[in-house]
Structure 1
Amino acid sequence: MKKSNLAVATAVSGLLALAGTALTPSVAVAAEKEKCYGVVKAGKNDCATKTSSCAGTSKTDGQKDAFVMVPKGLCDRLAGSSKEAK
């Protein structure tokens, strides 16, 4: 392999490794999120609901038992939101 190709391959590998660690969510980041019910668009929920078995299956906008994970504190400021399923 040429020296220039080796340098490019090394640089790209380094960037990919760095991006992989930057995109991996840490426990601290996960702790800074909360479930927010009643604000999800149809089909955009994060997990199962009382009426559906998996993520992305909410039937209506603002479904009261469907949630999305949001940064802590944001749910309190969204109209129609709740921290508990209704």
Structure 2
Amino acid sequence: MKKTTNIALASAVTGLIALAGTAMTTSTAVAAEAKEKCYGVAKAGKNDCATKTSSCAGTSKTDNQKDAFIMVPKGLCDRLAGGSTSSS
């Protein structure tokens, strides 16, 4: 009887681990899709990627630099003062 209990417990734990892995993969995919680049709102040195005038993330020279962006939740950029989804 003890062997049956151990098998049932192992099966339950394995199922929970598989379920947790699926949930984390799904939430990561949704989070990645729900972001957009927002230009013109990054503080100096806080941009997420290279710009026309700087070589890598974190190197923008001025606040609100027009070609520097940060990733924000989709739809938020249009509500930020000075925010734009294009670098022009």
- Give TM-score, length-normalised by structure 1: 0.70
Correspondence 1:76 to 2:41: no
Question: Any unmatched runs of 5+ in structure 2?
Answer: 1-19
Amino acid at match of 1:60: T
Match of 2:36, SS?
Answer: strand
Within 2, Cα distance between the matches of 1:39 and 1:59?
A: 13
Extract structure 1 runs of 4+ deviating beyond 4 A.
none
Q: Normalized per residue, which structure has more helix? A: 2
Match of 2:45, SS?
Answer: coil
Q: How far off is 1:26 after superposition?
A: 1.5
Q: How far off is 1:52 after superposition?
A: 0.6
Which one of 33, 37, 40 corresponds to residue 39 of structure 2? 37
Instruction: Name the Cα RMSD after superposition.
Output: 1.7
- State the match for 2:14 in structure 1: none
- State the match for 1:57 in structure 2: 59
Within 1, Cα distance between the matches of 2:44 and 2:73?
A: 20
- Give TM-score, length-normalised by structure 2: 0.68
| Alignment coverage as a number of residue pairs | 65
Within 2, Cα distance between the matches of 1:74 and 1:48?
A: 21
Identity across matched positions, percent: 72
Question: Any unmatched runs of 5+ in structure 1?
Answer: 1-17
